[in-house]
Every structure is written in structure tokens, then in C-alpha cells.
Structure 1
Amino acid sequence: MKPLASAKDTAGSIPSRRFLHLLIIVMVCLASVAPYEGADIAIIFAAATVSLLALMSAPRYEAGLRAAVLATLGGTCILSTIWSVAPFSTLPAATAIVLLITATTLVRRVMSQQEFLEVVAVAFRVVLLVSILTAIVVPSVGLVDENYQTGALKGLFVHRNLLAFMALIALATFVALRKIRSRRVTVMDTVLSVACLLAAQSQTVLVAALGTALVIVVLRWVRRFTGFSRVIIGTLSLASILTLVYMAIFSFAEIVSGLGRDSTLTGRTDVWPAVLEQIERSPLLGLGWNAAWREGLPDTQRMWRAAGFKMYHSHDGYLDMMLQLGLVGLVLLVIALLGAIVLAVRAFVRDRIQLSAWSVAVAMALVLVNLTESPSTNFFGFFVLGAALLFATERQLVSDLGSVRPSRRLVGTAS
């Protein structure tokens, strides 16, 4: 693998820079495989250490409004401790979210798109390889052993859908770096991520992956146009793709059946009415971050009775956000997602910044997977949401004298 892009021209010594890379890899690994016992504490320590080391480096990139959006979302998580039905569960989880956001924001101040993606690519490779190794050595842990999807890969994760989503983000990362790294490394990483994505047997994530890939292909085509026609064609194309994916997930029973799913989307249509009923009880602020799915809580027991079985998330990221942070949280989530998509699409299509395609892919994956899963309300989902927004475009470099000059390092031509 080639040396990380900006290691030689960024602040700080090479050893400290490499130590920062290592800490980011550890943080991403810990966040990606959550939830697990003590995940919030582990992520708090990892993110706090990354934040301190990044803070010690001389800032090179401006922060901007997007950091404020993420800070507001993280701050709402912390504030929800006040009204949470389970404050002792809310506080550590919310603290971990805030520190993840802080670490990603500070890392953004000292790293380019390329350097950041090369670092997280290493973390993704480690997690996927260890997941496969776990399935081989300890199949009772690494493979699904249930009536539904027996033998599906879940690796280090508590559920195969979490592995599938992480594999999708890893695939987007490896593809985004394809023109920077050697062909051999790119092919190996791509095969690894695709193998894990398929082995997880998560049809929802597979549909989202196809929709995300189609978005990138269409955007590359839209770059041929100019002016107002580019805006109209791009908007109509993206709207059409989102509509098709939505219909594929919800409207066509034959497609669902063909993918091996039942007409209730594996019980999701039983879960959603129960969650919506609970949301109506606290629509503005929700139950509090990480407080909705707790044994013994009356609100949780009510939803379980209404659905007819136990579940530990809403199987819909938007409903889960409303359940935990109410309408306030949903609005902030939508702002962050739209901000990442708009900024990254503009950078990729208009400014021809190649690596901005990564933020497009990640944000679109979140938008689509959120329809039937809840990635935006777990640690890894929060991390990739923040990264997609903060790294949506190559930011402006701040010189030692405080003036600002545009970075051209990763600006390329259309291919």
C-alpha cells in the first residue's frame, strides 16, 4: 500500500502521525462492531484519545457549519438525559456519540479526504478479515444459527445486517480509493467486502448497494451536462432512483418473495405500528437517547406486547430517531444527510473532486438502509454520517499565516 497521502506534509512528526492513524483505526474498529458489552466506555476512551492527539496537531482545515450541525445533534443526545426514561443508559451512550463526533471533526481539521479514507480502509479490512476468520474458527459465533438465514455470515457482529452495512461502507471506501492505491490491493479489498456483503445475506442492504451504485453511475453521466440542464437532469435522475429503490423494498411482493423475505418484511410491518404508537406519546423529544429498548421499562414492554415479540430497534432509522429524540432528532438527522448529499454531489459533479463520491455513496447508503434498518442510531452509523458530512468535499487549507487557499490535491478531471 502506498504511504498515506498527506503524512509527509501535515503537522506533527511522522511517529505521532502514525500513532494518530493507529488510534483512528482502533476507534473505527470499536465503533463498527458495536453493540457489545461495554461498547460505550471503550468508544469514549478511544474517541477521547483521538480527539486529544488531533487537537495537539496544528489545524490545517477550516471547521465550518457542518461541524455545528453534528455538534447540535450530539448535544441533543446529551441533553436527552434530562428527559430520558433511562438516564443511566442515555448518558454514557450519548457521551460516546459526542466524542465520536468531536474526534471526527478534529481529525477533519488535520487530514485530507485521501488520508482519512486510507486510514479507515485499514480498519474496515481488519474487521472484515477477522469476521471471516471468526466464522471459520468459531462458526457458532461467526455464523447465524437460527431458523431464518441459517449459515449467514455475521462475524464479530451481533447481527448479520450490521456486518452487511459495514461491508457496504467498506466497499464504497475501497472503490473510492481505486485510482490511488495499487490495482492488486484494490481488487483484494473489493473482493473481501463483496464476499462479506453477499455472505451476510442481507437483502435490504443488497438492494441499497445496487441503488447506491446506480446513483454514482448516474452522477458520472450527469457531469457531461452543464448549467441548469445538469441540475434538472441530476435531480430527476436521483428522484427516480430513490423511488425505484423504495418501491423495490416496500411495494412489490414478488420482489420481496424472490429475495427470500416474507410479505411482512420479516416482521417489520408488525414492529412499525407499535413504534408509531409510542412515538405519538412523546413526539417532540422522544424517550431519550439509547433509552427505548430496555428490559423492564413500561414503554418497551408496551411496544413488545403490541408487536407480539421482543425487538431491540425499530427496523427503521427514521422511526428509531423519532422514538429516541423525537421530531427534533429527526429534523437534525435529515439536515445532516441532505447536507452531506448536496455538498458531496456538488463537489463530485461540478468541482470534479473524485473522492467526494465516497460521501455521496455513504450518505445514500444511510438514506436507503434506514428504510428497514437503523444504522443512523448506532455508533458506527453516527461515525459514517459525521464523516460523510465533514469529508463531503476537500476543504480549504489554512496556511500558517491564517489566510485561506483552496486545496487542489484531489481535484481531478472527469473520467
Structure 2
Amino acid sequence: MAVSGNLPHAPAAAGLPPAHDDGASWIRDDRFSWLLAAMVWALVVLITVPEGFDYSALTTNDMPTSGSAVSRLQWLTLIGLGTAFLLWRGGLAWLLVRWFNPFLLAFVILAVASTLWSIEPGITLRRMIRVAAILLCVGAMVLVAWHPRRFQQVLRPIVTALLVGSLLFGLAFPHLAIHSESAAELAGAWRGLTNHKNSLGTLACLGLIFWLHAGLARDTRRLPALGGAAVAVACLLLSRSSTALVTSAFTCIFLLMLMRSPKGLRRWMPWLTALFAAVLLAYSLAVLRLVPGLEVLLTPITAITGKDLTFTGRTEIWAIVIEQIRLHPWLGGGYGAYWIGPIQGSPAYEMVRLLYFYPGSGHNGYIDIANDLGGIGLLVLLGYLVVHVAQCLQLMKIDRGQAALYLAIFFQQAVNNLSESHWLNVTTLSMVVMTAASVSLSRALLEHRLQGAFGRPRSAEAGEYRSVPLRALPPGSLIAAPTGGPR
């Protein structure tokens, strides 16, 4: 559901007084539902699968900043389609922005501004093209043909398809789908259709969350839910990603608690959720060594993950990145401008000089954000996470099952980013999923407020749709009025 035309009274949305005296009817319209889903699916595939299945290019100096003319055309097409839907639903889009997580908008503004001081302004600008595509695609997804389960009904099929495709790809082309490196942590590990075993592990973790939630919420029958979960577990085990295994266990247990906790415990779940979120943020600060002595909190993580005290070389990577952060502590070196490849003379080449390999990321989402956007960027990230949890707790009073899914996505991301760099990273699927969850969460809260003021929309019969001016319509989830309706 969405709104046709402009919303002249959008500023009144903060109060949303009841308005049933104009004879208008709320009309549900699912037109373009498949086109919008296809846009998001294309976005997911573009980010997840290496272009042309060229896995050898992942180790070249041109990655990940290169891209063919076809790839650029695909990204620009997504931006164009997203912009068209945004303009078509401009009134509702403006109203929705008022319900956005404000720190998501702050991130976009800061990332754009960082082009001015970026150590690689051209790379930062390319990253912003991807940011625009992601925001426009997921924004269009919630502006048109909206319903409360839209988030998972769009993302679950494409995640599952990529997991099934990874299994088939591994059987048909093992030399491409399975790591051939000699390093112990990579040898024999599956990456499937993705670019790395950890990427496949993250994809499998997301698939497991979606299918576990579908089964618990009874969004699908038990057999398909079990089948989807089995495919996700198979990919998870084949990837041999210890981070993904730990993240999956933690997140699934938490999701079970949210969805199937005894009634006596449910009143405490918001407090437990806030406590878990606070602990995770404390861990992130401990990694950054911002509070003296807080690094003692890292000891339990090493015990849980089974990694040694060096996090399999991660602390050495972190130390080098933190030294880079000290060169530009407040504003960073520019969004996405540090990890441009093992190019001699670039700041990231210090990894090759000191560690004799190029890790490709800081293996910590909080550290990489601080490196890209400085202390201000880190504060924006923390604010984004706090507001996301707060909005989830607000939605929990309205739609417990959907709020549980958005919280599970948050915890999956928060735990994963302790040893992987996915926060607000446009080269990862996690950016698409987390942004879609955040925008869908805002749309759900807005929808509840609008329906409380104007009632639930009714379904329209085929052929009844006709766009009309919204002077006579209350602002909300309408997309059109029936023939003969208010003009």
C-alpha cells in the first residue's frame, strides 16, 4: 500500500487527528509488487555474486573498486527505477522520512560530505552511488504494495535461492565454489556463489533466521520452513565460518526467546533486549580501546568463538587500522576510501608490509566505520543502533512477531561485526538487509499510526484503480481511489 499523488497536509502527520468525514476510502493496491521485489533481488545478486563469476579478480589490485560498463548500467538502472517510484509516491515518501531512523539519514549526509576530505574521493563517490541504489530500492519497496510482512517476503526467497544455488554451484564447479587456498582456515571451505566463506556463512545465517522466524510465526507451513532451514544449515557448515556459526547460535536462541518465551517472561523481554544490546555496544567500545580497562570484556568472546587470544590475526589488523584512525580521529579518511586493494603507496598497503597479506577489511565493523568517518561517524553508528532497538521495542507492543525479526537481524549484525566489517558497508549483503529492516520498521510504525487515525484500508476490485488528487484523502497508506471516489 502507498499513496497516490502528493500529501499537502503531511506536516499534520505528527498529530494525525482522526479524519473520517471526507468520504474517502482507503484502497489497497498491490500493483508493481513483483517489479519492486525484482529490483531488490537484482540488488542482492549484484552485491553477493562476483561479476561474471570471475573469482580470480577478487585477488587483483582493482577490486573492489572496479566494475564493467554492464555493472554500472545495472546500478544506474536501479537508481533510476527507485527514483521514479520515489517521485511517484513523493507525498508518502516525505511523510515516511519523518519516521526514519534519524541516524541513518545522518550517516548518508556524513558519507556524502566525506568526499570533500576523503583520501580517495573518487572511491568515496562510487560508494555513494551504491548507497543511493540501496536506499532507493528498499525505499521503493516500502512505498508501494506495502504490507507488514513485505520485508521477509521479498528477502527470504532471494536469500534461499542464493543458498540453493551455492550448493548446486559447489557440486557443478567445485574449483570456483570451494576455496583452493592453502591456508588452514580457507582450505576446503565453501564460498558458493559468494566471494568468500565468511560471506556464504553470513548469507546462511540470514537464511536460517528468515526460515526459523517463518516457522515460529507460522508465515509458512512447517515442511517448507524445515527445508529452508536445512539448506541454510548445510551452507553454514560447509562454509566453516566460525563467526557465522556463533552468530547463528546466538541469534536463533534469542529469536526463540522472543517468539516462544513463557507469558510470565514476556514482560521482561524488552529489558533483556536492552541489556543484550548494551553489552554488545560495550564490547564494541572495548575493541576500540576507548575506555581504559574495558578490553577485559573481550576475553569471553575468545572463549565462545574458540579463537586464540589474537583472534586469528585480527588484533594485528585492528592495531594497524587504529593507528590510521589516529591520523584523522574526528572525520575519518573518507567513506570506503581505505580498503581499495593491495596497491603500493596506498595507506592499506601497510597491511602487506607488516602482515605479508592483504585482509581486505578491518574485520571489525566498528573500527572500519571509525576509520572511514571518524569519531563522529562512530557516534552516528551507535545512535543508529540504539534508535533501531528502541523502534523495535516500540513495534513489539503492536506486532511482536515482526519486531522479533527486526531485533534478530540487529543482533545478527551486531555480533557479526565484532569480527567482520559489515556495518554500513555497501560491498556486503548485510548493508541491504539491515537498511531494508530499518526502513521497513519505520514504515510499520507509520502504518500503525495512520491506521489508528484513519482505519484499515479495504481491498479494491480489479480495474477500479484511478489516481486522484489527495486533497480529499487523508494522508496514509492509500495508493488510489475507486472509480467514482473523491477527486
TM-score bracket for this pair, using the shorter chain length: 0.7 to 0.9
Shift of 1:168: 1.2
Residue 334 (structure 1) shift: 1.6
Are 1:204 and 2:236 counterparts?
no
The 1:59–1:171 alpha-carbon spacing in structure 2 relative to 1, beyond 3 Å, is: farther
The CA RMSD over aligned residues, in Å, is 3.3
Of 338, 359, 363, the match for 2:410 = 363
Equivalent positions of 1:15-414 (< 5 A) are: 16-33=32-49, 37-38=66-67, 41=72, 42-53=74-85, 55-56=87-88, 62-63=95-96, 64-66=98-100, 68-110=102-144, 111-146=146-181, 147-148=183-184, 149-178=186-215, 179-220=218-259, 221=261, 224-225=264-265, 232=271, 235-236=274-275, 250-251=299-300, 256=305, 259=306, 261-294=307-340, 295-348=343-396, 350-376=397-423, 377-379=425-427, 380-392=429-441, 394-397=444-447, 401-403=473-475
Could you say what secondary structure the match of 2:149 adopts? helix
One-letter amino acid of the counterpart of residue 225, structure 2: T
Query: Structure 1 pair 239/363, CA: closer, same or farther in 2 (3 Å)?
Result: same
| Structure 1 pair 239–154 and aligned structure 2 pair: CA distance change class (3 A) | same
- Separation in 2, partners of 1:59, 1:33: 35
Query: How far, CA to CA, are the matches of 1:31 and 1:250 in structure 2?
Result: 34
Higher relative contact order (CA 8 A, sep 6+): 2
> 1:216 offset after TM fit, Å?
2.3
Q: CA deviation at 1:403?
A: 4.3
Is the Cα contact below 8 Å between 1:218 and 1:237 reproduced in 2?
Answer: no
Q: Secondary structure of 2:333's match?
A: coil
**How many angstroms does 1:236 deviate by?**
4.5
Helix, strand or coil: the match of 1:296?
coil
Change (3 A) 1:94 1:11: same
SS in 2 for 1:65: coil
Cα displacement (A) at 1:345: 3.2
Using the TM superposition, give the Cα deviation of residue 117 of structure 1 relative to its aligned residue in structure 2, in angstroms: 1.4
**Residue of structure 1 equivalent to 2:464:** none
Residues 130 and 344 from structure 1, CA distance in 2 versus in 1: closer, same or farther, beyond 3 angstroms?
Answer: same
Task: Give me the TM-score of the superposition, normalised by structure 2.
Answer: 0.71
Query: Taking structure 1 as reference, are residues 56 and 175 closer, same or farther at Cα in structure 2, changes over 3 Å only?
Result: farther
Q: Once the 2 structures are TM-superposed, how far is the Cα of residue 325 of structure 1 from its aligned partner?
A: 1.3
In structure 2, give the amino acid aligned to 1:355.
Q
**1:301 offset after TM fit, Å?**
2.4
Q: CA deviation at 1:173?
A: 1.9
Check the 8 A contact 2:41/2:155 in 1, yes or no.
Answer: yes
Q: What SS does the aligned partner of 2:401 have?
A: coil
1:338 Cα deviation from its structure 2 partner: 2.0
Pair 318,236 (structure 1): closer, same or farther in 2 beyond 3 Å: closer
Worse overlay, 138-147 or 377-386? 377-386
Contact kept, 8 Å, 2:124 with 2:334, in 1: the verdict is yes
CA contact (8 A) 1:278 1:303 kept: no
Long gaps (5+) in structure 2:
2-26, 51-62, 287-295, 455-469, 478-487
| TM-superposed deviation, 1:365 | 0.8
Aligned residues: 392
Could you say what secondary structure the match of 1:73 adopts? helix
- The change in CA–CA distance for 1:324 and 1:242 in structure 2 (over 3 A counts) is closer
Most deviating of 322-331 and 45-54: 45-54
Q: 1:160 to 1:249 in 2, by over 3 A?
A: farther
Query: Partner letter of residue 264 of structure 2?
Result: R
Provide the rounded CA distance (Å) in 1 between the counterparts of 2:44 and 2:101.
19
SS in 2 for 1:151: coil
Query: Bigger shift: 31-40 or 351-360?
Result: 31-40
Q: CA deviation at 1:116?
A: 2.8
Separation of aligned partners in 2, 1:50 and 1:171: 29
CA gap 1:240/1:316 in 2 versus in 1, 3 angstroms: closer
Contact 2:102 2:384 in 1 (8 A): no
- Unpaired runs of 5+ residues, structure 1, are 406-415
Instruction: String of CA shifts for 1:306-361, please: whole Å, max 9, x gaps.
Output: 4443221000000011111112221222222222222223423x334312222111
- Answer yes or no: is the 8 Å Cα contact 2:82–2:137 preserved in 1: yes
Residues 248, 26 of structure 1: alpha-carbon distance in 2 compared, 3 angstrom cutoff: farther
Choose 190-199 or 245-254, whichever is displaced more. Answer: 245-254
Q: Distance in 1 between matches of 2:162 and 2:125?
A: 27
Tell me, yes or no, if the aligned pair for 2:310 and 2:316 is still in contact at 8 Å.
Answer: yes
C-alpha deviation, 1:222, in angstroms: 7.5
What is residue 29 of structure 2 aligned with on the other side?
11
Structure 1 residues 328 and 242 mapped into 2: Cα distance closer, same or farther (>3 Å)? closer
* Matches of 2:165 and 2:326, distance apart in 1: 42
Give, in whole Å, the separation in 1 of the partners of 2:132 and 2:243: 29
- Note if contact 1:360-1:392 (Cα within 8 Å) is conserved in structure 2: no
Task: Indicate conservation of the 8 Å contact 1:222/1:233, yes or no.
Answer: no
| Cα offset, 1:113, TM superposition | 3.3
- CA distance in 2 between counterparts of 1:160 and 1:65 reads 37
